[in-house]
Amino acid sequence: MKETEPIKVMTEGHNMKSYAKACENFDWRDMEKAFSWYETGKVNAAYEAIDRHVDSGKGDKTALLYSDPKREERYSFREMKEQSDRFGNVLKKLGIQKGDRVFIFMPRTPELYFSFLGILKVGAIAGPLFEAFMEAAIRDRLEDSEAVALVTTPQLLSRVPHKELPALKHIILVGEGELDEGFYQLEEGFCSFRKEMAEASTELEMEWVDREDGMLIHYTSGSTGKPKGVFHVHNAMLQHYQTGKWVLDLKEDDIYWCTADPGWVTGTSYGIFAPWLNGVTNVIRGGRFSPEDWYGTLEKNGVTVWYSAPTAFRMLMGAGADVVKQFDLSKLRHLLSVGEPLNPEVVRWGLETYGKRIHDNWWMTETGGILISNYPAMEVKPGSMGKPFPGVKAAIIDDQGNELPPMRMGNLAIRTPWPSMMRKIWKNEAKYSEYFRIPGWYISGDSAYRDEDGYFWFQGRIDDVINTSGERVGPFEVESKLVEHPAIAEAGVIGKPDPVRGEIIKAFISLRKGHEPSDELKEQIRVFVKEGLAAHAAPREIEFKDKLPKTRSGKIMRRVLKAWELDLPTGDLSTMED
């Protein structure tokens, strides 16, 4: 628990003038006045994000600045409205109804955003899936959600076991090859995005919903069981809007870039809603990460507000300050980070290199929006996640629910509710209630402490969930995949600390009779997980063991594996089999 030198407020004129003032008399109901539904009573988050700006005379303003190595496009709010209206009509023609789950599995392109908004406009529930997912991950998610329609590309289609998914009625193919015969003309249930969009009207009859109606499902990992479908409702827009104002400090003329993919919650809450609810120009960059590409994106678009992740900042730090000097980043005024601990040295490096503070903030898929943050108008303590958002009460509590005093480590918990809180875990009441097992509190699963000034400091996960490069991986999912491999008898998976990725995935494996450890086998196993589940879920390290530590009931003891790995005491072994 060592404190580092706080970094003073560097510029003036932020949306939030003073943290203390913002907390005084804070009331979420005051935020509602920003929305048209405050007057009309008609709710739809896609309307508030896009159409509202057209109706209030800002239709010509650029909403989306898209580029990837092959495309460069710009869409105004009016064009976004037309395209998403068209897509809503495509869905209506297919018979999609309010509450239906419509999933999106494709790389970041403008079509992804048209689809996402169109889904919301017809009152359906969007399920964006990260493009790197492989078949097993796709099957789990489409099966559990009983998605009725999927937007995907011809290239990704081979990873969708559509014949084994009875609920899935429609596949809308988008991108290169979508018009090729065979994909959609011969098989029932297939259609071409481009063809349908061309035929659809640009005027959609919006489905007005209730604030508590569903709009989005993100699957995320826990330490046991399959991924959980975290269910969010339209009301979340309140939090997206206000955190966009006070944390991202978004203003009328900002050019904003969030580097996250909409397959993860940061890519929806802060890659779609926060900027557009605030009427701000949103930069989307497709393709792969490289320092030159990213700095080029900042320069070319004149990005002013940049929201990224520790692993990216660490990679940029690794690439050195010389690369930075080749680019003009003078427009940048506000930098933010989320997803895993932001090392104090990265904050200090950012200050030296960009001349700006990087503002760490904390939240989760389940919380739907930022709950703890460093604000532009507040001193930044490098290494701390900051202070609770006004109107949000965060605390450190023990396992009985008692609030702990400053400097004591315990469960990071949030007083319920807040506007963007998940409303259920899809079809899993039991998992949902685990988060709320102490009355009045949401238990995050993180451990942390609060200092005397009210700043929160992340200490670790309480469960076995792994955070590798900001991506949350459940050890159980990886273990389940591993034991499908014909050479593997048992597998135990842990997160191992890593200077760039935060944690890497390490697998301990015992082999079946007749199989011998070898480097080839390690490689084969890595590829097996990569191709079966997802690249980011593949173990970077594999260690073969004759036997794995297990409880008498047969559960693999990951904490013992971790202790072995880190040379720590193994703790209580009374439940371990001999």
Interacting residues toward ligand WT7 by CB under 6 A: 220, 265-266, 338-341, 360-365, 385, 444-446, 458, 461, 467, 472
Write out the E strands in 68-123: 72-76, 101-105
| Integer CA distances (angstroms), 284 to 110, 243, 261, 476, in order | 8, 20, 9, 33
The Cβ of residue 210 has, within 10 Å, a number of other Cβ atoms equal to 11
417 prior amide bond cis, ω within 30: yes
Q: Give me the least distance between CB of 330 and ligand WT7, in Å please.
A: 27
- Please say which residue, 262 or 341, places its beta carbon nearer to ligand WT7: 341
Handedness of CA 505, 506, 510, 516 (dihedral sign): positive
Q: Give me the least distance between CB of 337 and ligand WT7, in Å please.
A: 7
Q: Give me the least distance between CB of 522 and ligand WT7, in Å please.
A: 27
- In the chain, the largest separation of any two C-alpha atoms, in whole Å, equals 73
CA–CA dist 422, 417 (Å, integer): 10
- Please say which residue, 130 or 508, places its beta carbon nearer to ligand WT7: 130
Question: H-type helices in 332-417, by residue range?
Answer: 344-354
Q: Which residue is nearest to ligand WT7 (CB)?
A: 365
Q: Give me the least distance between CB of 444 and ligand WT7, in Å please.
A: 6
Write out the E strands in 211-353: 214-220, 228-233, 255-258, 281-285, 305-308, 334-337
Q: Give me the least distance between CB of 376 and ligand WT7, in Å please.
A: 16
CA–CA dist 394, 388 (Å, integer): 6
- Please say which residue, 266 or 411, places its beta carbon nearer to ligand WT7: 266
- Please say which residue, 95 or 417, places its beta carbon nearer to ligand WT7: 417
- Please say which residue, 36 or 224, places its beta carbon nearer to ligand WT7: 224
| Integer CA distances (angstroms), 412 to 3, 69, 143, 368, 432, in order | 19, 42, 32, 16, 17
- Please say which residue, 295 or 306, places its beta carbon nearer to ligand WT7: 306
> At residue 125, what is the residue type?
I
- Please say which residue, 191 or 364, places its beta carbon nearer to ligand WT7: 364
Q: Give me the least distance between CB of 413 and ligand WT7, in Å please.
A: 12
Q: Give me the least distance between CB of 116 and ligand WT7, in Å please.
A: 18
Q: Give me the least distance between CB of 310 and ligand WT7, in Å please.
A: 8
- Please say which residue, 192 or 469, places its beta carbon nearer to ligand WT7: 469
- Please say which residue, 131 or 360, places its beta carbon nearer to ligand WT7: 360
CA–CA dist 330, 324 (Å, integer): 11
- Tell which residue, 474, 468, 476, 456, has the closest CA to residue 383: 456
Which distant-in-sequence residues (6+ apart) come within 8 Å of 434 by Cβ?
443
Contact 513, 546 (CB under 8 A): no
CA–CA dist 444, 441 (Å, integer): 9
- 36's tokens: 């048209």
Task: Give residue 167's region: left, alpha or beta (phi > 0; psi -120 to 50).
Answer: alpha
> At residue 434, what is the residue type?
E
- Please say which residue, 100 or 131, places its beta carbon nearer to ligand WT7: 131
- Please say which residue, 83 or 444, places its beta carbon nearer to ligand WT7: 444
Contact 453, 438 (CB under 8 A): no
Q: Give me the least distance between CB of 375 and ligand WT7, in Å please.
A: 14
Q: Give me the least distance between CB of 447 and ligand WT7, in Å please.
A: 9
The Cβ of residue 258 has, within 10 Å, a number of other Cβ atoms equal to 27
Q: Give me the least distance between CB of 432 and ligand WT7, in Å please.
A: 15
